[in-house]
């Protein structure tokens, strides 16, 4: 019995201790308890809660720490606590995923795990805020447009499937969604998508070709419908041009609706007067008159400006101007074109002394107006165009020492009318130093040609003896190219100097030289001695046939017209060469007649040459056929029986005897 009694005593003491501790705890301030040591910190509304709200019946151990054990209807500790409402959004997440201990209101719901397209399962106006009454009519899921879970604002409507036929105004009516503003251009019933994109109102794609707007620009471009800009404040006052019909903007603005500029006023309408209505300087780009003396007091532009295309074609009416008019009052280089710095020095002479009122050029400058003889270089120095000076390739007359050339007109004798022809040699006496000008660098002073004859020649006047013509030349043959040196054809080849003519007698090629026959340096025809050793053949007839001539003479003489008819009267006559009878190449007179065995019978008749009455050259004896007998021989002298070869007198073909 002793042991149970001891146990009972111990339980009594324990119960007494708990009662005393509970009484002490009841009297203590719960806020003085460091609850964080229990692993559950008291925050927010929990700091003011009574302990028994969670520790029911004084039981501390096993007190739940999750929100739902206290804040869900039917839970063990739910009595007197704020409970999750029946219309709470459906979620399996813990309460503190969205709520905090300060207050259930202002919960921050995490949409991270919400399935796309399921927004309306909560946002139905009961569980969570839903689509307002003025929302655009749509069955699309909320997240099709609302991309943020932080708020409804910033929604981006997906217009990608919309077309020009879509009735945008069903939403964009100014209440459901942004509508057409009061200053919108009068686009009638044209659908919004015809001009505006689905990503924003601007920039719009207005295309003037979508509707017939020709002649209707001012319907929109009146200044009342931005951004369709209207006529600006400094627009030219075309309304003031009486008689000019301008019905709409595109009368002048021709850029095809792409831009206002360039506006072609004068190309579009005919305005021949009233220029100053627009050209006042106040209406750009209608340029006004400049602030110059020439324009001072001028009010009618078209008095001088005759073209609507350009001011530059202005023609001032100088009709009343005279030589006494002070042209320089305007033509001073600022008000109007003045005398250039390179103007010829005319002193104080009036412009009209030379220039006419219709233009500066051509001028009426007359060299006879002033005494300019011997003063050409005063103006013609190259510094005063158009008074041109000596050109770069002018002959260097300054280098001709001893020749006095004081001015241009020393050589240029055209009476101030022209530089050419300049008569240099006719004006000054120059007998030497030809090469100073005749170098080929100073046209028209011809230089020496590029050939062997002139190679190394530096003194023109060594051969050329006339200043009137190069043709009057006497070539000075040096000892190196004198007759007998065989060097003639180095130059006389038809290129450098006169060569062998086409009708020259045929000489051998190769070593044959001109001075083999020509023995003079002054003329080919002078002192010519024919050297038969250089001819190409021994047949005399090859050259002596009248076909070949030489420089200045008859060349290879042919037989005369009254030569004996050897070609017909002698056997083999046509085939015989001159050398058959003429045995010398120095003279025709040294000859021996070769009768070639002729003895009558047609071509061999003696009487053909020796009968009285023939007129052939030669010393042959001529007699009649009856000089010994009254009866002539039957045919020819050779058959008379007197003369050899058939007779007994004389020698055959040599003498009659």
Residue whose C-alpha is closest to residue 569's, from 536, 609, 530:
609
Summarised one tens digit per residue, pLDDT across range 370-413 is 667 778 888 888 888 878 888 888 888 888 877 878 788 888 88
Question: C-alpha distances in angstroms, 351 versus 206, 255, 322, 334, 344?
Answer: 61, 47, 10, 16, 12
Token pair belonging to 400: 């001709």
Token pair belonging to 220: 């929109």
**Mean pLDDT in residue range 142-160:** 82
Would you say residue 550 has pLDDT above 60?
A: no
Q: How far apart are CA 160 and CA 142, in angstroms?
A: 17
Contacts of 226 (CB under 8 A, 6+ apart): 183
What pLDDT, on a 0 to 100 scale, did the predictor assign at position 21? 47
Summarised one tens digit per residue, pLDDT across range 40-89 is 888 888 887 888 778 877 788 888 888 888 888 877 777 778 888 888 88
Mean pLDDT computed over every residue of the chain = 80
Confidence of residue 26 (pLDDT cuts 50, 70, 90): very low
Q: How far apart are CA 195 and CA 178, in angstroms?
A: 16
Bridge partners of 253, per DSSP, are: 263
What pLDDT, on a 0 to 100 scale, did the predictor assign at position 5? 37
- The answer to whether the beta carbons of residues 585 and 594 sit under 8 Å apart is no
- The answer to whether the beta carbons of residues 628 and 656 sit under 8 Å apart is no
Q: Is residue 430 exposed (0-12), middle (13-18) or buried (19+ Cβ within 10 Å)?
A: middle
Question: C-alpha distances in angstroms, 177 versus 134, 155, 181, 186?
Answer: 9, 12, 12, 20
Summarised one tens digit per residue, pLDDT across range 577-600 is 898 898 888 888 888 888 888 877
Query: Among positive and negative, which fits the CA dihedral 142, 147, 150, 155?
Result: negative
Query: Which residue has better confidence, 448 or 346?
Result: 448
Element (H, E) at 26: helix 2-27
What pLDDT, on a 0 to 100 scale, did the predictor assign at position 371? 66
What pLDDT, on a 0 to 100 scale, did the predictor assign at position 9? 39
What pLDDT, on a 0 to 100 scale, did the predictor assign at position 4? 42
Q: How far apart are CA 405 and CA 388, in angstroms?
A: 19
**Mean pLDDT in residue range 211-238:** 83
Q: How far apart are CA 403 and CA 604, in angstroms?
A: 81
Residue whose C-alpha is closest to residue 409's, from 432, 368, 377, 444:
377
Phi and psi angles of residue 12, each rounded to the nearest 5 degrees, phi first: -65, -45
Q: How far apart are CA 215 and CA 223, in angstroms?
A: 17
The angle formed by the CA atoms of residues 150, 152 and 157, to the nearest 5 degrees, is 125
Bridge partners of 103, per DSSP, are: 100
Bridge partners of 611, per DSSP, are: 623
Would you say residue 536 has pLDDT above 70?
A: yes
The answer, yes or no, to whether the previous bond of 285 is cis (omega within 30 of 0) is: yes
Token pair belonging to 162: 């919309």
pTM for the full model? 0.36
Bridge partners of 286, per DSSP, are: 283
Contacts of 69 (CB under 8 A, 6+ apart): 75, 76, 77, 78
Phi and psi angles of residue 422, each rounded to the nearest 5 degrees, phi first: -90, 125
Residue whose C-alpha is closest to residue 91's, from 117, 122, 70:
122
Bridge partners of 582, per DSSP, are: 591
């Amino acid at each position: 019995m002793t042991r149970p009694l001891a146990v009972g005593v111990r339980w009594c003491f324990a119960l007494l201790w708990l009662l005393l501790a509970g009484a002490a705890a009841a009297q203590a301030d719960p806020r003085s308890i460091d609850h964080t040591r229990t692993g559950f910190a008291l925050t927010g509304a929990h700091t003011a809660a009574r302990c028994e709200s969670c520790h029911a019946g004084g039981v501390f151990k096993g007190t739940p720490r999750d929100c739902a054990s206290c804040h869900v209807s039917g839970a063990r500790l739910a009595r007197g606590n704020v409970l999750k409402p029946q219309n709470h959004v459906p979620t399996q997440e813990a309460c503190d995923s969205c709520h905090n201990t300060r207050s259930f209101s202002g919960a921050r719901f995490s949409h991270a795990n919400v399935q796309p397209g399921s927004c309306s399962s909560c946002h139905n106006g009961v569980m969570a805020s839903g689509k307002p009454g003025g929302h655009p009519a749509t069955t699309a899921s909320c997240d099709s447009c609302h991309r943020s879970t932080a708020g409804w604002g910033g929604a981006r409507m997906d217009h990608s499937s919309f077309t020009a036929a879509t009735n945008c105004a069903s939403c964009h009516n100014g209440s459901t969604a942004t509508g057409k503003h009061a200053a919108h251009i009068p686009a009638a019933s044209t659908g919004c998508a015809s001009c505006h994109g689905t990503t924003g109102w601007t920039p719009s794609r207005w295309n003037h070709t979508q509707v017939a707007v020709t002649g209707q620009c001012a319907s929109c471009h009146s200044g009342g419908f931005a951004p369709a800009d209207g006529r600006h404040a400094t627009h030219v006052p075309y309304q003031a041009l009486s008689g000019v019909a301008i019905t709409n903007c595109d009368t002048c603005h021709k850029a095809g609706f792409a831009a206002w500029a360039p506006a072609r006023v004068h190309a579009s309408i005919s305005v021949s007067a009233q220029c100053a209505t627009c050209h006042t300087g106040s209406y750009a780009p209608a340029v006004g008159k400049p602030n110059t003396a020439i324009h001072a007091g001028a009010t009618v532009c078209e008095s001088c400006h005759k073209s609507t295309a350009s001011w530059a074609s202005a023609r001032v009416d100088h009709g009343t101007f005279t030589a006494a008019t002070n042209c320089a009052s305007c033509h001073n280089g600022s008000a109007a074109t003045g005398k250039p710095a390179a103007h010829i020095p005319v002193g104080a002479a009036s412009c009209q002394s030379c220039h006419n009122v219709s233009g500066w050029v051509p001028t009426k400058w007359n060299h006879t107006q002033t005494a300019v003889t011997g003063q050409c270089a005063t103006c013609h120095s190259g510094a005063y165009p158009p008074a041109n000076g000596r050109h770069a390739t002018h002959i260097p007359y300054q280098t001709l020492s001893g020749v006095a050339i004081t001015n241009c007109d020393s050589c240029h004798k055209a009476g101030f009318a022209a530089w050419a022809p300049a008569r240099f040699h006719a004006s000054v006496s120059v007998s030497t130093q030809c090469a100073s000008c005749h170098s080929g660098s100073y046209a028209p002073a011809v230089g020496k040609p590029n050939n062997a004859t002139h190679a190394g020649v530096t003194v023109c006047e060594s051969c050329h003896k006339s200043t009137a013509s190069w043709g009057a030349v006497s070539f000075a043959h040096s000892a190196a190219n004198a007759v007998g040196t065989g060097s003639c054809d180095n130059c006389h080849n038809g290129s450098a100097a006169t060569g062998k003519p086409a009708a020259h007698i045929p000489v051998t090629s190769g070593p044959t030289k001109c001075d083999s026959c020509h023995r003079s340096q002054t003329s080919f025809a002078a002192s010519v001695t024919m050297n038969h050793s250089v001819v190409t053949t021994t047949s005399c007839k090859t050259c002596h046939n009248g076909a070949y001539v030489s420089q200045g003479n008859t060349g290879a003489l042919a037989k005369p017209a009254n030569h004996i008819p050897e070609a017909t009267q002698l056997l083999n006559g046509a085939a015989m060469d001159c050398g058959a009878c003429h045995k010398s190449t120095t003279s025709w007179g040294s000859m021996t007649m070769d009768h070639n065995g002729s003895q009558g019978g047609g071509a061999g008749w003696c009487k053909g040459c020796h009968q009285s009455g023939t007129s052939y050259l030669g010393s042959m004896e001529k007699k009649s056929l009856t000089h010994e007998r009254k009866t002539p021989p039957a045919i020819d002298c050779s058959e008379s029986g007197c003369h050899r070869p058939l007779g007994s007198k004389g020698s055959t073909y040599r003498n009659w005897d």
